[in-house]
Structure 1
């Protein structure tokens, strides 16, 4: 056996992403480079690590066993590097954060200064749907999660970051006349929802139920970006977080339509398991957020006040 740490990292990414293309993107390598390293790694084993069925890559049972060993080896190597830096008086380690999809417009601003000040810290940030975020908390896979609605079945601690505001928006070229009328919606005005379990969808449904609004045509999409593009294209209107539509409001492809009891306001919360013992890196990040959040909000989110 003569495999390298580089090959182990590449194979771990391939297993995690279930794709050579996505692994190459995550590693900032070309696809051919990743394919060559996978072949060189495979050549050292008499049993297949992967197989391709119908142009789709699958990891074999043996491959998954090797991936688990690779993760342990890489974790030990990272641990050696972190301990070396710590002995030099440098904050070092890994910070893992899981973020709901809309939170990708928020979390980087609260991470940027911390990461620049602590070059020995490695960041792993997973942007996904709420169900996966909650699962990552339940299974203790992350230090923190960013959510706007707290899961009520977990014992959590939280640090409130900033407000999350949701408005009724539409492409003004398609729905302006209808949405400026006294009626909230008419039968032929489609309303675009996120998937079940999404905090944005829950906020929309609560609002519609409380206002006793009957929705005619419903469209369901599985990401905030998909909803935004559908609204821009004129497929319908939606109640969307302000945080994700700044540029579209500025260029006029979306417009906010004021209605009674809108906007909806929630809060972005950084949460973690109440029973979790935070690492030195996680503790330092939490202290940073508490000290700097007001300045971050004033510097990067002052445009909220225009709406």
Structure 2
């Protein structure tokens, strides 16, 4: 057997993404390069690791077992690096955070200084929808989750970061009643807040348009397709350039809180505790330095 660590890393990424194309994008490699390494790994085994049916790639049962072993091998290699740095007096380890999609406008500013101070820490940041964030937290797959609404029936502890302000927005200063409302997908906290707001004032409406990301909603609003209740925090440049306007509506903004949450009773790793301590000590400075425009609204 002459397979390499690099080949195992590539194979594991293919298994995780179920796609050579997606794996190549995440690994910053060309698709042919990923295919070649995948084929070279396969040549080491008489049993197929993957199979393609139609245009869909499937991982065989044998491939799944190899992937599990590959994941453990790669984790142990990372542990060697962490141990080496720890013996040099450097705080090391991995910090994993899952964030609701709009949280991408918040969490990087709370991570930047911390990572500058601790060069031995690796960060895994998964930006996804609220349902997936809560699932990852529930399964104890992550250290922290960044959410704007505390999940029900799940005991957690929290650290508040910043207000989440939701306004109705359009591409003109006044609401055009003839244009539809644009909603986020099911499971989105913004979707739930928007539904509650309009149903309590204008009654239940047919949802003519539903988009699966805040960015997609933003672009639809800019294009004049309709109006949407959206988080202010991702709209700085669009508001300054007047591509988007806040529409005057009663009882807006809707205000929730962006918060870092973790399972109650969870024993935090040294890296996780250090990050929490950093946030508590530097929160006000981070807000003043990075969010002064936002705090004025």
**What corresponds to 1:182 in structure 2?**
none
* Change beyond 3 A, Cα 1:32–1:257: same
3-state SS of the aligned residue for 2:187?
A: coil
For residues 138-180 of structure 1, give each alpha carbon's deviation from its aligned partner in whole angstroms, at most 9, with x where no partner exists.
Answer: 11000000000010111100000001111110111xxx4545x
**What corresponds to 2:229 in structure 1?**
239
4+ runs deviating over 6 angstroms: none
**What corresponds to 1:287 in structure 2?**
277
- RMSD, aligned CA: 1.5
**What corresponds to 1:146 in structure 2?**
146
- 1:267 maps onto 2:260 in alignment: no
3-state SS of the aligned residue for 1:160?
A: strand
Pairing partner for 1:228 from 208, 212, 218: 218
For residues 91-146 of structure 1, give each alpha carbon's deviation from its aligned partner in whole angstroms, at most 9, with x where no partner exists.
Answer: 01111110111111111111111112111111111111111101101110000000
- 1:159 maps onto 2:149 in alignment: no
3-state SS of the aligned residue for 1:90?
A: coil
Matched length: 297
Q: How does 1:174-185 map to 2 (within 5 A)?
A: 176-179=173-176
Is the contact between residue 86 and residue 92 of structure 1 (CA under 8 Å) also seen in structure 2? yes
Could you tell me how far apart the structure 2 residues matched to 1:303 and 1:74 are? 43
Could you tell me how far apart the structure 1 residues matched to 2:54 and 2:222 are? 35
Q: CA deviation at 1:212?
A: 4.2
Q: CA deviation at 1:306?
A: 4.4
Using structure 1 for the length normalisation, give the TM-score.
0.92
* Change beyond 3 A, Cα 1:216–1:50: closer
Could you tell me how far apart the structure 2 residues matched to 1:83 and 1:294 are? 33
Q: CA deviation at 1:216?
A: 5.8
Could you tell me how far apart the structure 1 residues matched to 2:292 and 2:47 are? 57
Could you tell me how far apart the structure 2 residues matched to 1:178 and 1:6 are? 55
Unpaired runs of 5+ residues, structure 1, are: 180-185
Is the contact between residue 191 and residue 215 of structure 1 (CA under 8 Å) also seen in structure 2? no
**What corresponds to 2:248 in structure 1?**
258
Unpaired runs of 5+ residues, structure 2, are: none
Could you tell me how far apart the structure 1 residues matched to 2:129 and 2:141 are? 15
Could you tell me how far apart the structure 1 residues matched to 2:50 and 2:290 are? 45
